[in-house]
Structure 1
């Protein structure tokens, strides 16, 4: 009898404990997710990565100190549109077929030196049938918003009055509930100050600065959606050319408009962080800061700049905070890339990516939790386009550990660099390391074939 009573009592106890555990789990809401992207910002131009003392970005430094800094964050491409497409879809630019920036003037590509192969074909907008992290987050009940630069909506923006080539290719057709600022424009042109000449931003105050406005819109979204899970992609136009900023900030920065632009963007980030505090949701919000490609202004300790397949064209500043998951003040040197955001966001929201086989990214949560590796041994790039304003342009590239191979596609000689010994990529050691080069060539060839990469035309 006692045995039966004991059994019943234990069964009841386990049931109560199970219910308690389930309730505790159910009571933990999925995190809000904010993805902040700068434009044309390379490493060395924000406070958290050892930059100049003249740079004033305290809010980004605060964000970084409250989470993890990624010292080897890479963009999926050397220019903006393909990286943005890779972030949204979790697919490489080569697999998407969108491998260079979408031209502001229709049909105007960058010509190469005489005798160079012609550019490979590249899509002029992001196909609607591809995966989108915003759509996946909506499936998990998230409110979603896009604020800022899209540049995935057709060529020829400079010939329009309002930046719209085809509104069917705007963010709201890729899973975002709302869109402020996202159109075909790759830069603000002459409209850093209102009137913006952008059909997706309503004018409200003549002379208002675009970055300030985007920050205000982000705050408004947070306030409105604080009571349910939300996702915000806040993709600034800063620090794209033309280099312009409010007069007071330019004066504060000794007449340097570029530093003033950085401070303005940092002020907008500060507004976002303050809004999370005020809304009481900071402790359940993942915030990512990233850039779409290497800097238009070079990084002193990296070779080349935007448009190049050397490190200066591909490396970007990155920091992530996620209270309760990421230990403050941490750092990782594990290479990560644009496609990784898709699975990271979707899995954090409680979704699954097992039925999206074309994904090339990996969930970054193991790194967030202190692990020091991801389940891959290489990163790949493919830029089959002319960009003769930089040293290493048309070509493909692979990174494996400390080794990086550049394959010139007939334009530049192939090159192999050991980044640990030669971080500025000044010494081509291909001839001295034929076996290493051959292994990397084989792996790169396999990837290019797998994603059906388009090649330059002879």
Structure 2
């Protein structure tokens, strides 16, 4: 994957300075074990529905994200970063709990019986719409360790994030989208617009900056998760003329969506500016990602296949980077496959917090990779989706559903998708075929069997439900 030429210059130009400042530092593990260790601030940025190539640092020449591009250049960019699910609620539940979907049983948004019953061959697994109190979440653990915690934007996992470890809640509820980015902000009644045309993303950042100014001596955890750039596609009006006259690039040509992306980037620029001016940026660990792939009807992620809701790469591979001055070398890029399940153990290690023995985390700390002090061994990444999600398109090769019930696994360069309706298997070598165009299931029986057995074992270990009851309403 070739990075945008301007970003390549930024990344390349930062390597020498970072390595110069990095030499001689104690290791991350030694530092966090120091009794006088000063806990860093932690900022977790989770954009909604922004695809792998919807930012400049991942190659887009249509969308403009100068603030993110510059920030990414100060840390490590991951080109094989994944969400643990292909749509909003399950991905966010995985991130906050650090656990695979079969453990919390949030598989989709709303009912698992999506689409028309006559098109569903199987009775899907019932969906859980709320993250249970038995799960200990990132903000709960950090709050107990002395952090002041703030949620800003979309929550989607319960009615009130204040009941899940946050001290401050800016606009978060069980709502999955704002209804409108212009007043009145339907589904976000807790936020009141200062004027009749005040854009919601701007207001969420206004309140976020107010929170940061209020924090005094204690470290803070900010979960910044704006509703943007989720539908509805409501343009930022003063940016629209520029994109209407801009040439399309690689399937990206939606001017209204482009204004939302640029405005989201501008708000993050405000956040970074405040952290820098207050002297907090050098003491802050930042993780950036998106909760799932871009919406196919709005923005293409080529060469990745399909988009949000699909378990092809376009639905689950995300833009991601981490920044931590003095610990993460600037201008680096990693091809290590990682997932948002890794964020919880990474944050614990960054904060110097021992993982409670009762807590089950399915990811691994990325700190050795981030600090160039080690790596993580090759491991399998898993996805499980025992439900239906309507909205198929030409790249899913299914005119009805983006995803039918199934599971997926990635190990090394190989990826297997298994469908439960008919036992169909798709095998891809992502190194040679990132667009998942050539199904090798028939020609590579050895690799197919290896991955399928791993998938079967994982489902048994996690008690992942496999729907098998036929739907009497189904019409073949």
1:120 Cα shift? 1.3
Alignment of 1:37-52 (within 5 A): 37-52=46-61
2:74 aligns to what? 66
Question: Aligned pair in 2 of structure 1 residues 211, 443: CA closer, same or farther (>3 Å)?
Answer: same
Name the residue aligned to 2:355.
353
SS of equivalent residue, structure 1 residue 398: strand
Asked if the contact 2:136/2:359 (under 8 Å) is kept, the reply is no
Q: What is the rounded CA distance, in whole Å, between the counterparts of 1:88 and 1:403 in structure 2?
A: 27
Provide Cα deviations, 1:250-304, integer angstroms capped at 9, x if missing partner. 2233371111000110011001100101211110101111000011022011011
2:461 matches 1:450: yes
Q: How does 1:67-146 map to 2 (within 5 A)?
A: 67-102=75-110, 109-111=114-116, 114=119, 116-146=121-151
Alignment match, 2:300: 298
CA distance in 2, matches of 1:339, 1:443: 19
Report the counterpart of residue 4 of structure 2 in structure 1.
none
1:402 counterpart residue number: 413
The residue number in structure 1 matching 2:7 is none
Question: Is the aligned partner of 1:184 residue 2:195?
Answer: no
Structure 2 partner of 1:393: 403
The alpha-carbon distance between structure 1 residues 327 and 25, as it changes in their structure 2 partners (threshold 3 A), is: same
Distance in 1 (CA, whole Å) between partners of 2:36 and 2:348 is 19
Alpha-carbon distance, 1:352 to partner: 1.4
SS, match of residue 444 in structure 1: helix
C-alpha spacing 1:428/1:112, structure 2 compared with 1 (3 Å): farther
CA contact (8 A) 1:102 1:125 kept: no
In the alignment, is residue 175 of structure 1 matched against residue 186 of structure 2?
no
- How many Å separate the matches in 2 of 1:122 and 1:455? 13
Q: Decide whether aligned partners of structure 1 residues 147 and 83 sit closer, same or farther in structure 2, where only a CA change above 3 A counts.
A: same
Equivalent pairs counted in the alignment come to: 417
SS at structure 2 position matched to 1:317: strand
Which residue, 414, 419, 428 being the options, matches 2:439? 428
Is the contact between residue 378 and residue 412 of structure 2 (CA under 8 Å) also seen in structure 1?
no
Structure 2 partner of 1:196: 185
Structure 1 residues 412, 241: closer, same or farther in 2, change over 3 A? farther
Give the CA deviation at 1:35. 0.6
Q: Give the structure-2-normalised TM-score.
A: 0.84
Backbone CA RMSD of aligned residues: 2.0
Could you tell which deviates more after superposition, 349-358 or 294-303?
349-358
Deviation at 1:110, TM superposition (A): 2.9
CA contact (8 A) 2:302 2:435 kept: no
Deviation at 1:201, TM superposition (A): 2.1
For 1:161, the equivalent position in structure 2 comes to none
Segment drifting more, 360-369 vs 25-34 = 25-34
Deviation at 1:112, TM superposition (A): 6.2
Residues of 2 paired with 1:182 and 1:280: CA distance? 28
SS of equivalent residue, structure 1 residue 300: coil
Match status 1:30 vs 2:39: yes
The Cα of 1:210 is off from its aligned counterpart by 0.7
Spell out the pairing of 1:214-225 with structure 2 (5 A cutoff): 214-225=204-215
Determine helix, strand or coil for the equivalent of 2:361: coil
Q: Which whole-Å deviations, capped at 9, do the CAs of 1:395-421 have from their partners, x for residues lacking one?
A: 100000011011111257211111111
Structure 1: state its 5+ residue gaps. Answer: 1-20, 154-168
Q: How does 1:344-383 map to 2 (within 5 A)?
A: 344-370=346-372, 373-383=375-385
Contact 1:112 1:118 in 2 (8 A): no
In the alignment, the residues of structure 2 paired with residue 320 and residue 102 of structure 1 have an alpha-carbon distance, to the nearest angstrom, of: 32
Q: 1:404 touches 1:416 (CA, 8 Å); kept in 2?
A: yes
The question of whether the paired residues in 1 share the 8 Å contact of 2:77 and 2:321 is answered with: yes
Q: Is the 8 A contact 1:183 1:200 kept in 2?
A: no
* Contact 2:193–2:203 (Cα < 8 Å) also in 1: no
**Offset of 1:26 from its aligned partner?**
5.1
Which has more radius of gyration? 1
SS in 1 for 2:228: coil
* Structure 2: gaps spanning 5 or more residues: 1-29, 246-254, 397-401, 471-476
Q: How far does residue 226 in structure 1 lie from its aligned partner after superposition?
A: 4.7
CA displacement 1:205-232 (0-9 Å, x = unmatched): 3321011011112211111115320000
CA distances 1:305-326 after superposition (whole Å, capped 9, x unpaired): 1111111111010111111110
Task: Give 1:373 shift.
Answer: 3.3
Q: Does the 8 Å CA contact 1:239/1:261 hold for their aligned counterparts?
A: yes
Alpha-carbon contact 1:97-1:454 (below 8 Å) kept: no
Q: Deviations over 1:350-404 (max 9, x none)?
A: 2111414421011110111125631451000001122243326221000000110
